[in-house]
Amino acid sequence: EHIARHRMQTRGETWITEGLQYIAEDSCPFCSQRLEGVGLIQDYRSFFSREYHALRQEVTGLKRQVDAAIGERAAAALEQTVLQNGNAAESWRRYCELAATELPESGRIGDVMGALRESAQALLDVKAGTPLDTVAPDDRFTQALGAFEALRTSFGTYNAAVATANAVITARKRQAQVAN
């Protein structure tokens, strides 16, 4: 109610949590009045307990996990692997018949993963500001997740094609070894 009354919805909990850390000698960091017996401060201390801080840390940990799983490095590594596979397949086509091993989203992997990462991070930022509130996925996140799921499906098909190409290449290598 206090947060709503002072129109602090977006950063109110964070502001109060940080402010509690500045209380020294049981006096208000703003006006130096004694805080002994002030019910609101006791309520704040109870509300913003260790469990509350643990939840905020968990949200921060989730942000790091999202960045590691679908961050720029992960996207760049996937793009690089697709490029290397394409170059290797092109080289091997001189020696054996290979089916196409192309990824329709090639060149857009970073965009698809970036959109999901950014929308997820935005939701986690909201959650970090009000960790006790439910944060529902918004349209931006839902659309980015749909595009990412389509990418995952394409990667499944792509990986199967690469596995088939690897089997053909391995068989050709065996034929070449026999002939020496």
What pLDDT score was predicted for residue 169?
Answer: 95
What pLDDT score was predicted for residue 30?
Answer: 73
pLDDT digits (tens, 9 = 90+) for 44-73: 767 677 777 788 889 999 999 999 999 999
Residue with token string 């992960």: 74
Largest CA distance in the chain: 93
pLDDT digits (tens, 9 = 90+) for 112-155: 999 999 999 999 999 988 887 899 999 999 999 999 999 999 99
Q: How confident is the model at residue 180 (pLDDT cuts 50, 70, 90)?
A: low
Q: Average pLDDT for residues 109-113, to the nearest whole number?
A: 97
What pLDDT score was predicted for residue 1?
Answer: 78
Distances (CA, A) of 168 to 78, 84, 142, 155, 173: 23, 17, 39, 20, 9
Specify whether the CB–CB gap between 93 and 85 falls below 8 A.
no
Residue 162 has pLDDT above 80, yes or no: yes
What are the helix and strand counts (H, E) for the chain?
A: 7, 0
In terms of Cα–Cα distance, which of 141, 137, 130 is closest to 9?
A: 130
Residue 16 has pLDDT above 90, yes or no: no
Residue 171 has pLDDT above 70, yes or no: yes
Rg of the chain (C-alpha set) = 27
